[in-house]
Amino acid sequence: MYEKIISQNIDRLKSNSEKYSLRKKLFKTDDVLPMWVADMDIVTPPFIVDKIQERLRHPILGYEQMPDSAYNAQIEWMKRRHDLHVNREWMRYSHSVVASINLAIKAYTDIGDKIIVQTPVYFPFMSCIANNERHILKNPLKVDEDGDYTFDLDDLKSKIDKDTKLLLLCSPHNPVGRVWREDELMALAEVCLQNNIKVFADEIHCDLVFKPHKHIPFSSLSDEIRDITVTAIGPAKTFNLAGLSISTVVIADEYMRKSFDKVYDSIHFAEGNILSHVAFESAYMDGDVWLDELMEYLTCNIQLLQDTLSRYDNRLTCKYPQGTYLVWLNCKQLMLNDRELRELFIKKAKLGLSPGISFGREGSGFMRINIAVPQATMKKALKRLTHMLEFI
């Protein structure tokens, strides 16, 4: 139904897209095909854009609260797609998941406390902790010889102490693409429960999961686990709405909600922009078919990438991601240091990717590529990659 629309090639050069406009600054050239920041070069669904245009026909753009109908659309979506039961009173508007992480850090920890991150991981996790003068407690993911990542609970247990107050969970995981299984999450939750550690579950990528994998909301594991959890969810990644800055925070436990609200109210988050409200509601009301087709489309892009890599003796390898549209490329066989690796991709492939090292030391030797692009762009990228693979 939507394949033709999803395949559309859109020129983003004139729309001030960060992915394109920051090329010179980041890669020292405008020549690279940018496949770094986590938004899509695939159109935002037209049924959402129509709702925004419809709203703009009203001549007044004054203050608005996000209506309950929008919150309810997200509640129904989470129930329908993820088996998660959320009450309206548990939800707060947030213009940014990263802002919500900062609020949770302020609400649940004090200066000097330790906060756990499972590296390699979305780099703002680290900067949020450092900026709030808390200590980063690294619990690197464990990786086996096949390149499969999992939690390292022995390492975690050995490092926790009385000052360890919060764990920042990335689920599904950016950048390694894992969709955590229920037993893995359960085991992690047990450690947190036993040690009085609260969990911020960043589940912004929860809808972007490839079959047969299934996203398990951390807070759905048990009532007890729900009551130590703050969950961040939103339509930004799923429906390419990052520029509208909208997400929600879900906190079931009343005491935890009160602590969060104290910080939240102190900085006046207000209720966001009015165009994001209609987009949010429309995405969750009408987005099911779009999302299912998008995931099929992204699957083809990953297949194209894997086919290309396999033609070159797997000098670069990647695990089929279980979730997210970010693919974690293992470049260790090239035996280059991280600076050389980045240069190689910029100069010989003319591709602007995210260096693995930016997600923590454990990402050394990796590059992250964003494959949420129309197939024509994917093929262009693979031609460039092929050129690089022939060169090395």
Ligand X SMILES: Cc1ncc(COP(=O)(O)O)c(C=O)c1O
| Interacting residue ranges for ligand X, rule: CB under 6 A | 38, 96-98, 122, 170, 174, 202, 204, 236, 242, 247
95 vs 350, beta carbon nearer ligand X: 95
2 vs 149, beta carbon nearer ligand X: 149
Phi, psi of 73 (to 5 degrees): -65, -40
Q: How far is the CB of 341 from ligand X (least distance, A)?
A: 21
Q: How far is the CB of 68 from ligand X (least distance, A)?
A: 22
204 vs 291, beta carbon nearer ligand X: 204
Q: Which two tokens stand for residue 259?
A: 């602590």
Q: How far is the CB of 247 from ligand X (least distance, A)?
A: 5
Phi, psi of 76 (to 5 degrees): -65, -40
Cα separation of 7 and 294, whole Å?
Answer: 10
Q: How far is the CB of 37 from ligand X (least distance, A)?
A: 7
168 vs 388, beta carbon nearer ligand X: 168
- % helix, strand, coil for the chain, step of 5: 45, 15, 40
97 vs 160, beta carbon nearer ligand X: 97
Q: How far is the CB of 100 from ligand X (least distance, A)?
A: 8
Cα separation of 305 and 308, whole Å?
Answer: 5
C-alpha to C-alpha distances, 108 to 143, 159, 195, 255, 387, nearest whole angstrom:
30, 19, 14, 11, 50
40 vs 160, beta carbon nearer ligand X: 40
Cα separation of 252 and 255, whole Å?
Answer: 9
Q: How far is the CB of 261 from ligand X (least distance, A)?
A: 19
Angle at 323 between CA 188 and CA 229, to 5 degrees: 35
Can you name the residues that pair with 137 across neighbouring β-strands?
A: 116
Q: Are 173 and 121 in contact (CB under 8 A)?
A: yes
